[in-house]
């Protein structure tokens, strides 16, 4: 009797583990590993034998706005690319115009979620000419509201306000944003935030280079309307205010952003004045209800969507872990039973 009960328990654990893991993967809303790498290159100026960044553009560099993606089942990689507002000048005059940065998509709810936004803006390079670039990058987009992942890693990379002058002058100005926190949704088990900011770097070789940068505000953004992660790692890296001059001049200005002050404690409210309210005089305007109706004729067309399978949207991590745990327990009981039988025999 005990043998039959043991075998039945082993079969139930193995079958239940396979069924739970398979159902979790089939009904999950996204892949097990999701990697998002938005790349933004905008508001940069390049001058060769000319002046860039002062008057309307002479040579507009081609713009590109699209998304590269690959879905390998358990692994999904998305690379939104936005290139625009960049200018180059060869023996003439040019200016760079800003372009909007791409926004991150909705939260994935995957087991591992990695976001690596790369932004290159407000940089100037002058070769035998003058280049001027001024950019203000928006804050890196946070993940939208959705189920949290087991491991959520955000590594925004920002290169802004960098000037290089070679036999010419380069001037770059940039205001780096503060990093934002996670948006609505349940927090992850492990949260890693490592923003990398390179700003206010100037290098002059037989020329002058000037870079001005406003560093992002210190501190890390927390989750809004959600629980904090069990393990939260914040490792911001900021490189700002470095100047190098080789037979030329290099100047940098790096100022820290203003940190909001703690609000003051409100004072005690005063005593209200006693008295009876006066009577209201005047006619009260009447409110006339307005009804609206519409009828569709023979030529009326309606828009609709095609039939699709039911969308469950359940997170993959709990179901997958539960199934694997049950499967491991069942296999362990099976191996122990066989070893015991072999030892007795």
pLDDT for residue 184: 42
15 within some domain: no
Least confident of 57-61, 237-241, 252-256: 57-61
Instruction: Give the integer Cα–Cα distance in Å for 163 and 252.
Output: 9
Q: Between 2 and 252, whose confidence is greater?
A: 252
Least confident of 2-6, 108-112, 140-144: 140-144
Tens of pLDDT, residues 185-210: 455 677 788 888 888 778 888 878 88
Q: Where in the sequence is the domain holding 186, given as residue range(s)?
A: 31-221+232-255
Q: Between 93 and 88, whose confidence is greater?
A: 88
Q: For the chain, give the mean pLDDT.
A: 65
Nearest to 121 by CA among 166, 83, 89: 83
pLDDT for residue 11: 74
Instruction: Give the integer Cα–Cα distance in Å for 117 and 236.
Output: 14
Nearest to 237 by CA among 296, 185, 176, 283: 176
63 within some domain: yes
Are 53 and 96 contacting, i.e. CB atoms less than 8 angstroms apart? Answer: yes
Cβ atoms within 10 Å of 337's Cβ, excluding its own: 14
Are 142 and 107 contacting, i.e. CB atoms less than 8 angstroms apart? Answer: no
Q: Between 315 and 118, whose confidence is greater?
A: 118
pLDDT band, residue 256 (cuts 50/70/90)? low
Tens of pLDDT, residues 143-164: 444 455 677 778 888 887 778 8
**CA 89, 92, 94 angle in degrees (round to 5)?**
50
Instruction: Give the integer Cα–Cα distance in Å for 335 and 222.
Output: 46
For residue 330, pLDDT beyond 50: yes
Share of the chain above pLDDT 70, in %: 43
- For 128-137, b/e burial (b = at least 16 CB within 10 A) is ebbbbbbbbb
144 within some domain: yes
Tens of pLDDT, residues 269-327: 767 666 565 554 555 555 555 444 444 444 444 444 444 444 455 555 666 667 777 77
142 within some domain: yes
96 within some domain: yes
Number of residues assigned to the chain: 345
Nearest to 222 by CA among 179, 259, 263, 256: 179
210 within some domain: yes
Q: What is the secondary structure of 102-152 as a DSSP string?
A: PPP------SEEEE--EEEES-EEEESSEEEEEEEPPPPPPPPSSPPPSEE
62 within some domain: yes
290 within some domain: no
| Conformation bin of residue 206: beta by default, left when phi > 0, alpha when psi is -120 to 50 | left
For residue 171, pLDDT beyond 50: yes
Number of domains the chain is built from: 1
pLDDT for residue 27: 54
């Amino acid at each position: 009797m005990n043998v039959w009960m043991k075998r039945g328990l082993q079969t139930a654990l193995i079958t239940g583990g396979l069924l739970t893991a398979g159902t979790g993967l089939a009904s999950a809303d996204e892949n097990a590993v999701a990697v998002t790498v938005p790349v933004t290159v905008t508001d940069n100026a390049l001058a060769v034998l000319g002046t860039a960044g002062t008057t309307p553009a002479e040579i507009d560099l081609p713009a590109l706005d699209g998304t590269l993606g690959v879905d390998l089942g358990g692994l999904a990689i998305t690379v939104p690319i936005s290139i625009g507002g960049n200018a180059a000048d060869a023996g003439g005059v040019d200016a760079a115009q800003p372009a909007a940065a791409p926004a991150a998509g909705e939260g994935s709810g995957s087991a591992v979620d990695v976001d690596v936004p790369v932004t290159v803006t407000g940089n100037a390079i002058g070769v035998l000419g003058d280049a001027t670039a001024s950019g203000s990058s928006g804050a890196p987009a946070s993940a939208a509201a959705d189920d949290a992942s087991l491991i959520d890693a955000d590594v925004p990379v920002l290169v802004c306000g960098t000037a290089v002058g070679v036999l010419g002058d380069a001037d770059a100005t940039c205001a780096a944003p503060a990093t934002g926190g996670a948006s609505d949704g349940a927090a992850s088990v492990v949260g890693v935030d490592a923003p990398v900011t390179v700003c206010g770097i100037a290098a002059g070789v037989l020329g002058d280079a000037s870079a001005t940068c406003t560093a992002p505000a210190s501190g890390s953004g927390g989750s809004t309307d959600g629980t904090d992660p069990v393990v939260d790692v914040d490792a911001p890296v900021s490189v700002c205010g470095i100047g190098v001059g080789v037979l030329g001049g290099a100047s940098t200005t790096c100022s820290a952003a203003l940190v909001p002050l703690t609000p003051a404690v409100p004072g005690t409210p005063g005593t209200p004045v006693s008295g009876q309210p006066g009577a209201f005089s005047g006619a009260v305007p009447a409110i006339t209800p307005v009804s609206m109706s519409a009828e569709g004729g023979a030529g009326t067309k309606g828009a609709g969507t095609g039939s699709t399978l039911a969308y469950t949207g359940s997170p993959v991590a709990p179901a997958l872990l539960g199934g694997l745990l049950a499967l491991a327990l069942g296999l362990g009981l099976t191996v122990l039973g066989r070893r015991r039988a072999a030892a007795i025999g």
